């Protein structure tokens, strides 16, 4: 599908629901990064902005990107309302076409799945290369299908964290896999519906 189709799809997804007033950070982000010293972070596919706002509240400077101008505009407004606009830069960006410039101490990619064309492996490889020495790439993928997911295909297969790491094909002399596991958690979806879901968590650190 064309880039225009993808932009329209995701703009419609966000426009169809009320703006989230208090978006919450993903659980895997908070448990993984709480002990890290603040630096510069890149949030790939920022969505409602819970991760970017939480990181900014912890002292990080965050570049948050999303293909949806609706999502980006809402996040920028929330950052201003919380006095965090000096720490959060929200930008509409299509990862299918290019990757944000700069070097970062933390790059997050939470549930970077889409029904449209996206070379995820290339995006994650670019993310790893955009890490400063000592920086970390956190990739959290779906490991199961939540009842509210847009993809209800019963035949869908979710690659394991190790498979994702193998696909990125990073030089072990320069990047180290610090975590690759599949924890479960209770998740809350639209309308307060809850379900137990599996996350696929991959944490990579640039060592050189």
Report whether pLDDT(136) > 90. Answer: yes
| Cα 23 → chain centroid | 14
Angle between helices 120-129 and 161-168 (to 10 degrees): 70
CA distance 3 to 9: 10
Give the start-to-end residue ranges of the domains of the chain.
Answer: 3-206
* Range of lowest pLDDT (47-51, 76-80, 185-189): 185-189
Record: fold of 3-206: Rossmann fold (3.40.50)
* pLDDT mean over 165-189: 94
Q: How confident is the model at residue 156 (pLDDT cuts 50, 70, 90)?
A: confident
Task: Reply yes or no on whether the pLDDT at 1 is more than 50.
Answer: no
Residue 34 has pLDDT above 70, yes or no: yes
Instruction: Please give the average per-residue pLDDT across 30-34, as a whole number.
Output: 94
Query: From CA 131, how far away is CA 23, in angstroms rounded?
Result: 26
Average pLDDT over residues 42-51: 96
Average pLDDT over residues 71-96: 96
Statement: residue 4 has pLDDT above 80: no
Mean pLDDT, rounded, of the chain:
92
3-class secondary-structure state, position 73: helix
User: What's the confidence (pLDDT) of residue 30?
Assistant: 96
Higher pLDDT, 147 or 38: 38
Q: What is the pLDDT of residue 208?
A: 83
pLDDT at 53 over 60: yes
The whole-angstrom separation of Cα 49 and Cα 72 is 8
Helix-then-strand count for the chain, H and E: 6, 8
SS3 content of the chain, % helix, strand, coil (to 5): 30, 30, 40
How confident is residue 106, by pLDDT bands cut at 50, 70 and 90?
very high
Percent of the chain with pLDDT over 90: 75
Q: How many CA atoms lie within 13 A of 135 on its CB side?
A: 19
């Amino acid at each position: 599908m064309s880039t225009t189709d993808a932009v329209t799809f995701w703009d419609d997804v966000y426009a169809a629901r009320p703006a989230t007033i208090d978006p919450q950070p993903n659980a895997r982000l908070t448990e993984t990064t709480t002990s890290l010293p603040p630096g510069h972070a890149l949030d790939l596919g920022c969505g409602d902005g819970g991760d970017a706002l939480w990181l900014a509240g912890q002292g990080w400077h965050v570049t948050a990107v999303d293909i949806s101008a609706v999502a980006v505009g809402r996040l920028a407004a929330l950052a201003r309302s919380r006095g965090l606009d000096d720490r959060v830069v929200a930008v509409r960006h299509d990862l299918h076409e290019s990757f944000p410039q700069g070097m970062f101490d933390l790059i997050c990619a939470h549930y970077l799945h889409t029904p449209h064309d996206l070379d995820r492996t290339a995006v994650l490889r670019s993310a790893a290369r955009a890490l400063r020495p000592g920086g970390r790439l956190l990739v959290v993928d779906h490991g199961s299908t939540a009842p509210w997911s847009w993809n209800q295909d019963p035949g869908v297969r979710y690659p394991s964290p190790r498979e994702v790491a193998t696909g990125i094909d990073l030089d072990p002399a320069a990047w180290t896999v610090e975590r690759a596991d599949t924890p479960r958690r209770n998740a809350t979806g639209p309308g307060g519906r809850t379900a137990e879901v599996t996350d696929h968590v991959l944490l990579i650190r640039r060592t050189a």
